[in-house]
Amino acid sequence: MSSELDSGSQLGVLYYCPCSGCMRTTDAPVKASKQKREFAELAEEECRAPLDISTQKQLAVLRTWPIEKLYYCDDCSEVRCPHCVIEEPAGYHCPNCTFDVPTASVRSEKNSCARNCFHCPVCTHVLVVVVVESTQGDGGQSCSVLSCAVCMWDSREIGWEFETSTGISAQIERMRAGGPAVKEYASLLDYWRTVQRTASATAVGSHGLTSSASFKHRLTSAGLHGNTTSVDSLPPYKAACYVDSGAELTEDFKALEDANIIPFNGDPRTKEPQRVRLHMKLSRRCRMCHHILIKPESKAHNSRFKIQLLAANFLPTITFPNSLPASKARGSLLEHINTTPLRVGSTMPVVLRFTNPLYTEMDVSVDVGELDAAQTDVLAPRFTLPPFAELWEYDEDEDDSSLASPSASSSGRGSVKRGIIHQHGNQIAIQLDVTPRAQTQKLTIPLCITCTHLDDMAEMDTSDTSTPRRIVNTFWAYVSLGTVN
């Protein structure tokens, strides 16, 4: 959260995303492409089915987010929350060895790292390959084992010793290859492949030619009169694990029931290390227009983003300042704001700071929603946030409205705008007068904020490039003010 918030207090600002169907604001540009229009119409129909008020209120808590969690689609000019974005994988990597796994290998390696990354069966820490003296054979030979640095577990405890220190996974596969489980699986596969072949052969026989292979089959089997193999005539599968088709398991399979392979089964000495699961990097798209909002670099070690469309880069950030920087006229810090506790009946000033992230001016209007618990007066309902600029050309520090003395260096704006406490660069601090009417644990004021700015990017689609379009964003912000006594 913003560093200006005191963690002990309960002040906070949450933004509301009304995305049960992604309702659109007015003035959002109409998409030129037909496909996007169709998507938009579908979404409009979705949100036309109204929810009743009480359900909406209960659901509202799911739809409020701090601004850090919100995205912004600049194609639709809309806010997008984590519920109204489509996530898709943008790369897979092992969290331990940070090896980027190509997408094709992910499936074949069952979403785990194919190299030497394993979890300790005792403490789930990551295992390290260590070269030690072998306990098998005549001793004195070195071999590699997996060992845990935290609990000192060793793969020698389950009898795993490897010849080389790389490709441990492959060596484990080889070790398991002769085991009864793998043999059983292979014979099962063979059996069902035979069944499948027979089934498709008989099916083809009734439906005619489907492929050259089955044509050949028909030709060869045509010579065998009456030898129509059907699925029913195949012998049933005989599992190698049962003794003479009885219900008793053979010795091999009784040993398997010790469940060396199944994790979390009692005695840790028989547990096997599990492979480390791969992590995904996700990219996010707008649900309406499928425009990419977040696209990370697919390399694991690189934590940057190729595309990063965040709400904080398009919408004003609303925060509670703990102190405001010194104004030139007064030469001191305005401190101790937002610290006085709220009491029923008494009017308290609450200072909110709006920060403009854009390179253009933004007109902001603040309206208060209906609230029984408190009466709020916004002293400055409409103001203009100056753009973000590297060089601070702004030295109009306006003082607290009670002093009402414009600074000498103000550029032509003679009067102090009522309600604006402080103005510096691209930030404006405004004052709200809050009069609580009832005691609550957590007083939350809904504010409806409308921001308008001119789009300074050249519009590619339209022929008329001289008039930049106006973009209006309206959203609700819920301002939490803490306890009312």
Q: Which two tokens stand for residue 307?
A: 């595309």
> How far is Cα 289 from Cα 85, in angstroms, rounded to an integer?
10
Please give the size of the binding site for other proteins, defined by CB under 8 A.
12
Choose one: 34-42, 145-153, 320-328, 365-373; the region binding other proteins (CB under 8 A). 145-153
Length of the chain: 485
Which of 79, 50, 74 has its CA nearest to residue 63? 79
> How far is Cα 294 from Cα 307, in angstroms, rounded to an integer?
5
Shortest distance (Å) from residue 148 CB to other proteins? 9
Choose one: 144-152, 229-237, 397-405, 407-415; the region binding other proteins (CB under 8 A). 144-152
Shortest distance (Å) from residue 150 CB to other proteins? 5
The DSSP string of 347-384 is -EEEEEEEE--SSS-EEEEEEE---SSEEEEES--EEE
**Please, which residue, 157 or 395, has the CB nearer to other proteins?**
157
**Please, which residue, 159 or 263, has the CB nearer to other proteins?**
159
**Please, which residue, 42 or 152, has the CB nearer to other proteins?**
152
**Please, which residue, 156 or 277, has the CB nearer to other proteins?**
156
Site string for other proteins, 85-124 (x = CB under 8 A): -------------------------------------xx-
User: Which one among 32, 51, 62, 152 touches other proteins, defined by CB under 8 A?
Assistant: 152
- Applying CB under 8 A, does 243 fall inside the site for other proteins? no
- Applying CB under 8 A, does 150 fall inside the site for other proteins? yes
> How far is Cα 231 from Cα 192, in angstroms, rounded to an integer?
11
Strands 427-436 and 420-424: antiparallel
Residue position matching structure tokens 């850090």: 68
**Please, which residue, 23 or 158, has the CB nearer to other proteins?**
158
User: Looking only at residues 246 through 285 of this chain, which bind other proteins when binding is defined by CB under 8 A?
Assistant: 268
Shortest distance (Å) from residue 119 CB to other proteins? 14
Residue 370 falls in which region: left (phi positive, over 0), alpha (psi -120 to 50) or beta: beta
Shortest distance (Å) from residue 171 CB to other proteins? 21
Shortest distance (Å) from residue 134 CB to other proteins? 12
Which of 354, 424, 414 has its CA nearest to residue 382? 354
Q: Which two tokens stand for residue 164?
A: 């080389």
The DSSP string of 237-268 is P--TTBSTTSSPBPHHHHHHTT-SSSSS-S-G
Strands 118-119 and 100-101: unpaired
User: Which one among 47, 151, 249, 448 touches other proteins, defined by CB under 8 A?
Assistant: 151
Site string for other proteins, 155-194 (x = CB under 8 A): -xx-------------------------------------
Site of interaction with other proteins (CB under 8 A): 122-123, 132-133, 150-154, 156-157, 268
